[in-house]
Amino acid sequence: MKKLLSILSVAALAANLHAGNITVKGSDTLVILAQKWAEVYMGEHKDVKIQVSGGGSGIGFAALQSQTTDLCDASRPAKAAEIAKCQVVFGGKRPTEYKVALDGLSVYVNPENSLKELTVEQVGDIFTGKIKNWKEVGGPDAPITVYSRENSSGTYEFFKEHILKGKDFVASAQTMPGTAAIVQAVVKDKNGIGYGGAAYGGNSKLLNIKRDDGSPAIAPTEENVINGTYPIWRHLYVYVNPNLDKGEIAAYLNWIRSDEGQKYVKDIGYYPLPKNLRSN
Amino acid sequence: MTPEPKSEQPRPHGWIGIHRGHKARPVEWLAEKFIFLVSLSAIAMVLLIFLFVAREAMPVFFGEANTALIQPTIPVAELDKHSPAELQRYLDLTPEQYKSVDHDTLLALMQGKLDEQNEVPENFRKDADARINTTEWKYLLQSHQWSGYDRPEYIWQPVGQIKKFNIIPLIVGTLKVTLIGLLFAVPLAVGAAIYVSQLARPRVREVVKPVIEMLSGIPSVVVGFFALLVLATVLQKIFGYQTRLNAFVAGIALGFAVIPVIFSIAEDALTSVPRAYTQAALALGASRWQTAWQIVLPAAIPGVFAATVLGFGRAIGETMIVLMVCSASVMSWSIFDSARSITTTIAAEMGEVVAGGPHYRILFLLGALLFAATFVSNMIGDFVIHRFKNKLEGKR
Amino acid sequence: MNGTQARHFRADKFDFWSFFFSGLTGLATLFIIGILVTILVNIIYNGWSSLSWHFVSTIPTDLFNMKTTGILPMIVGTTIRVFVMTIFVIPVGVITAIYLTEYAPNTSLITRVIRAAVNNLAGVPSIVFGLFGLGFFINFVGKNMDLLLHNPTSVWGRPALIWAALTLAVMTLPVVIVATEESLKAIPPGLREASLALGATKLETILKIVLPQALPGILTGGILAVSRAAGEVAPILLTGVCTYMVGLPHSPTDQFMDLGYHVFILSTQSNDIDATRPILYATVLVLLMLTFALNIVAILIRARVRKKLRALG
C-alpha cells in the first residue's frame, strides 16, 4: 500500500512538473512577441517554464493537432480543415481561439509620391491591377509597381480576403519575403506601393485610408487603430486545446490578454487589444 | 576474396550451396557482405527520395484531392444513413482516424463541414469558379479564363477562396532564371577553364584554380544576401531598369553559384585531352590560342557540354538565392520582370500550408517534378562525360 | 621561354585574334576572381566592425535588437546539426568508397549503378532533400516510431534536429564517398599486395594498411561535407530549423536555430533592415568564416593527397 502511494505521489509530481511546462509554437509573425511574453511571465512565475518556437501558422496548427504544442500562435484564423483535424483528437471540441493583439496594416508608398490618401476600394483596385497608373487616383502620371507579401504570410491572406474581396493579386506584383523587404523596395522605387504592419513603415510614406468616398481619411496611428476608426487591421491569434485550457495555461492566457501582458505588445510593433475584445 | 586465377572447374561450394568463404573465413565473408549492403545505400537513397516525395504528391496525381469551394454537404441528421466509407471520405479522415473518433466527434465534424459551407462569402456563391476542383490536371497545366479575367491566363495563386494552382508560371520562371544564369556563367566559366588549363603558366594555374573553386564554398544564402543588398543596386544603376529585384539579378547571382561547378568540370575535361594533341599542334606552328581553340576545345566539347548540363541541374535546383531576390509568379519571358521558381515556391509556402492538404500535395508534386528534371540532366551529363573519357582513353 | 622559339611563332604569323582571345579568357578568369574578392571584401569590411565576443556568445531574447542580440544559439545549432550528420554520413560514405575501390568488380552492372546513384545524389536539388526529409523521416519514420513506442503525443513525427541532421547526411553522402575514393586510389597498390603476400586477409589489409593511409582523404571528405552542410539552408527549412526558440536545443527531438537561416531571417524579416544591417553582416561573416576555414583546411589536405596521386600515376 505504501509502495502504491509513493508511486502515485511520484506520478502526481511528474504530472505537476508537466503542468508547469508550456510550449508555444506557430507563426513567425508572432514569435518575437510570444517570446517577450514568455520571458516576462517566467520572471514573475519562477515555477513555470515556457518554450517558444516559430515555423509558421500551418506548422503550429499541425503541432496543435499532433498535441506537441500547448499553444499555437497564428497570424490568420484557423482553416476549416485544420479545425476538423484538431476536433478528431480533441474529442470533437474545436480548438479555442483567443485574440491576443491587433495589427494595423498600412499602405506604404515612396516618400516622394505626392499622393496622401486612398479609399479602401482604390487600394483593392491597385493591388488587383484594375488601377495601373498613379494619375487614376490623383497622383503623378506614372505606372504603379505593386509589392506584395509571400502568399504564405497571414497579411497576404488578410489583404486578399478583405481588401481585394477575394480577387487575385495582379500577376506582376513583386512578392517579397518580409515586410521589411517591401518597405525597402518601396523606399527605393518611386512608383512603388506595398502593405504591411503600420509600425514597420520605416522611411516610407504611410497613406491615410478612407473607408469609402464619403468618409474622412484616417492615418494609421496607434490611437486610430485601437479605437477602430482606421479601417485596415486584423487580429493575431493564439489557439489552444480546450481540454488543456485550465491551470497554468489558462492563467498564462489570461495574463497575456490582461493590461500587464498587453503592455508589451507595442514594443514589438503591434497594438494592444481594446478592452471590449479581451473577454472572448 | 583475393583475386584467384580463373579455373575451368566450378568452385567448390559449401553446405547447401552456401559459398565456401562463409565457412572458411566467416568474418571476412560477413564483412564483405556488410560492406556491399552499406554501399547500396546511395541507390536506396535515390529510390527513397523519389518514392517518398512522390508518395506525398500521390492524391493530386490521381485526382483525389478536391479544392472546390462549394461542395455537396450531408445534413447532420443523416449521419446514420451513410456508410462508414462514405463518411470517412466526406470528412476527409484516414481509416484509423475514423475508427478512433466517437459518435459525438463525428457529429461535431459533420456540423463543421456545414458551417464551412455556410461561411462561403455571398459573392462566391454564384461564381462558377467556386465549383471547380482546381487540382485537376487541366487546371494545373492549361490556361483558364477565371471569372474577373478577360482572357484565359496561367495563374499561381494558391491562397484564397479560389485556389489557383497553375504550375506553368513557375516552370517558366524557373527556366527564365536558370537560362539567364547559364548565359552568364557558361562563357565566363568555360573561358576561365580554357585560360587555366591551356594558356596560363603552371604557377598561375596553381593559384587560380583553388581560388575559383573557393567560390563554391560560399553558401548560397550568402550569395542571395549579397545579391539582395549589393548586386541588385549595382545592376540597377548600370542597366537602369524599373524594378530593382527581378529575374535578371537572380539569374546573375545564380551564375555566381554555378560558375565553380561548370569551371571545374570543363577544366577537368580540357586537361584530360591528351598532351600529344597539343604538342602536335604546337609543333606544326600553331599558336597557343589556336591550339586551345581549334584542337583542344573541339576535342573537349562533350566535356564542356556535360559541364553545362550539370550546371543547369545545379541552377534549376538552387533555392535560397532566388527565394531572396525575386518571386512574383508572373507569366512573362522578359528578363527584367520578376519570376518565381519552383524551388522558391516550395521553400516559401511549405511552412504555412495545411499539412496534408491539396496545397501541400502540390508542393510535393513540384518537388517530384524538380527531382525528375535534375535526374534527367544529371544522367545526360554523366553519360556524356563517361563516353568522352572512354573515347579519349581509347584513342590514347 | 626560349627566344628563338618565340620569334619563330611571331615570324610565322602574329595573329591579332589569337592575342585578343587569349586576353579575353584571361579577363574571364580575372572577372570570376573579382566576383569572389568583391563578395569577400564587402562582407569582411562591413561585418568586422560589429563582430564582438558579446555578439557570438549571447543567447538573444530579441533577434532584431541591436544591443542585446547575439548568435550563440545559431552557432550551437549549426554545429550540433553538422556534428550529428557526420556520425551518420562518414561511416556509410567510407564503407561505400571501400566497396567501390577495394571490392567492386570494375565493370559489373551493380558498380555502375552505385556510381550513377552517387553522381545523381550529388545533383539532387537541396530543397528536394528537404521535401524528402519531411516526407520520409518525419512523416514516415517518425510517425511510425511514435506508433511503435506508443507515445501518447507525437515525439518523433515532427521537425527536429535529428531529422535535419539525417537529411543533411543523405545530401552530403556523395561528398564523402568521392573524397574517400580519391584517397583510397592514391594508395600504392604495392602496399596492398605486400600485405596480402604476407598472409593478411583482405579485411585485415583494409583495416590496418589501407584505411590508416587513407585517413587524410576521409578527413577531407568529412570536412567538405561539414562545410557544405553548414551553409545549406534549404534542406533544413522543412525538417527542423525554427526562426526563434528560447535557449539551446537539449534533445535530438528539439528544433534548433541556424546561422544560415538566421541570415535569411535578418535580411528578409527584420523590422528595419537598415538598422539591423550591421548584425546581418556580422552573422554572414561568422557563417563565412566557419565554412571557409573548413574549406581551406580541406583544400590543403586534398592538395597533399592529389600530389601523392600524381606521383603514383
**Lowest pLDDT segment from A181-185, B29-33, C100-104, C225-229:** A181-185
- The CATH topology of domain C51-312 is MetI-like fold (1.10.3720)
Interface test with C, best of A33, A66, A183 (most C CBs within 10 A): A66
**Contact between A35 and C154 using a beta-carbon 8 Å cutoff:** no
**Contact between C244 and A180 using a beta-carbon 8 Å cutoff:** no
* Chain segment A186-210, per-residue pLDDT in tens: 888 889 999 988 877 888 899 999 9
* Chain segment B162-208, per-residue pLDDT in tens: 888 999 999 999 999 999 999 999 999 999 999 998 888 888 888 89
Please check whether residue A269 is in contact with residue A36, taking contact to mean a CB–CB distance below 8 angstroms.
no
Same fold yes or no, A2-102+235-277 and A106-226: yes
Q: At residue A3, does pLDDT exceed 60?
A: no
**Contact between A165 and B123 using a beta-carbon 8 Å cutoff:** yes
Q: For residue C171, count CB atoms less than 10 angstroms from its CB and return exposed for 0-12, middle for 13-18, buried for 19 or more.
A: buried
Q: At residue C62, does pLDDT exceed 80?
A: no
CATH architecture of B168-352: Orthogonal Bundle (1.10)
CATH architecture of A106-226: 3-Layer(aba) Sandwich (3.40)
**Contact between A66 and C242 using a beta-carbon 8 Å cutoff:** no
* Cα–Cα distance measured from residue B212 to residue B258, given in angstroms and rounded to the nearest whole number: 11
A56–chain B Cβ distance below 8 A for any pair: yes
Phi, psi angle pair for C254, to nearest 5°: -75, 160
pLDDT of residue B227: 93
For chains A and C, what is the number of CB pairs under 8 angstroms?
A: 79
**Contact between B100 and A88 using a beta-carbon 8 Å cutoff:** yes
What is the bridge-based pairing of β-strands A49-53 and A21-26?
parallel
**Torsion over CA: A134, A140, A141, A147 (sign):** negative
Across chain A, mean pLDDT equals 84
pLDDT of residue C313: 57
* Cα–Cα distance measured from residue C239 to residue C151, given in angstroms and rounded to the nearest whole number: 20
Q: Domain coordinates of chain B in residue numbers?
A: 168-352
Q: At residue C12, does pLDDT exceed 60?
A: no
* Cα–Cα distance measured from residue B97 to residue A87, given in angstroms and rounded to the nearest whole number: 11
**Contact between C243 and A55 using a beta-carbon 8 Å cutoff:** yes
Is the model more confident about B108 or about B231? B231
Q: At residue B52, does pLDDT exceed 90?
A: yes
Please check whether residue B310 is in contact with residue B155, taking contact to mean a CB–CB distance below 8 angstroms.
no
What proportion of chain B, given as a percentage, has pLDDT over 70?
93
- The CATH topology of domain A2-102+235-277 is D-Maltodextrin-Binding Protein; domain 2 (3.40.190)
DSSP symbol at A194: E
Q: Which three cell numbers stand for residue B29?
A: 565473408
Interface test with C, best of A32, A50, A64, A67 (most C CBs within 10 A): A32
- Chain B residue numbers touching A26 (CB-CB < 8 A): none
Please check whether residue A78 is in contact with residue A238, taking contact to mean a CB–CB distance below 8 angstroms.
no
Q: At residue C66, does pLDDT exceed 60?
A: yes
Across chain B, mean pLDDT equals 84
Q: At residue C8, does pLDDT exceed 60?
A: no
* Cα–Cα distance measured from residue C110 to residue B40, given in angstroms and rounded to the nearest whole number: 9
Indicate the SS3 state at residue A217.
strand
Quick one: which of A69, B355, A90, B56 has its CA closest to C155? A69
**Confidence bin at C229 (pLDDT 50/70/90):** very high
**Confidence bin at A6 (pLDDT 50/70/90):** very low
Average the pLDDT over B128-153 and give the result.
86
pLDDT of residue B18: 46
pLDDT of residue B23: 61
Beta-ladder partners of A206: A108
Q: Domain coordinates of chain C in residue numbers?
A: 51-312
**Torsion over CA: C78, C84, C85, C91 (sign):** positive
- For residue B381, give every residue at least 6 positions away whose Cβ sits within 8 Å of its Cβ, in sequence order, or none: B306, B307, B309, B310, B313, C123
Nearest CA in chain C to A66: C154
Q: At residue A4, does pLDDT exceed 70?
A: no
* Cα–Cα distance measured from residue B155 to residue B331, given in angstroms and rounded to the nearest whole number: 8
- Chain C residue numbers touching A62 (CB-CB < 8 A): 158
Average the pLDDT over C8-32 and give the result.
76
Chains that touch C (3 or more CB pairs under 8 A): A, B
Q: Domain coordinates of chain A in residue numbers?
A: 2-102+235-277, 106-226
Q: pTM above 0.90?
A: no
* Cα–Cα distance measured from residue C97 to residue B226, given in angstroms and rounded to the nearest whole number: 37
Q: At residue B8, does pLDDT exceed 60?
A: no
pLDDT of residue A20: 61
A177–chain B Cβ distance below 8 A for any pair: yes
Considering only CB atoms, B159 lies closest to which of A59, A157, A174, namely: A157
Q: For residue B159, count CB atoms less than 10 angstroms from its CB and return exposed for 0-12, middle for 13-18, buried for 19 or more.
A: buried
For chains B and C, what is the number of CB pairs under 8 angstroms?
A: 271
pLDDT of residue B328: 75
pLDDT of residue C311: 75
Average the pLDDT over C45-55 and give the result.
90
Task: Write down the ipTM of this complex.
Answer: 0.88
